[in-house]
Amino acid sequence: MEHIPAAHWLTEAADAADKQGPGNLLRIVLIVMVVGAVLLGWFLLRGYKRDD
């Protein structure tokens, strides 16, 4: 098993992230927006609950 120094592994990971583009970041932003919209809708609509 070949030993790879931590600094070398880290620079390779950074290079791979640069080549990958903004795909993962956009995916995370979209997921956070959807979850935030659901929580906001729940928070706003819970005030309309009737206890009749």
Tens of pLDDT, residues 5-48 = 666 766 776 676 667 777 888 999 999 999 999 999 999 998 87
Structure-token pair, residue 24 = 């993962």
pTM of the model: 0.52
CB atoms within 10 A of CB 27: 10
How much is the pLDDT for 12? Answer: 75
pLDDT of 5 reads 61
Q: Which amino acid is at 51?
A: D
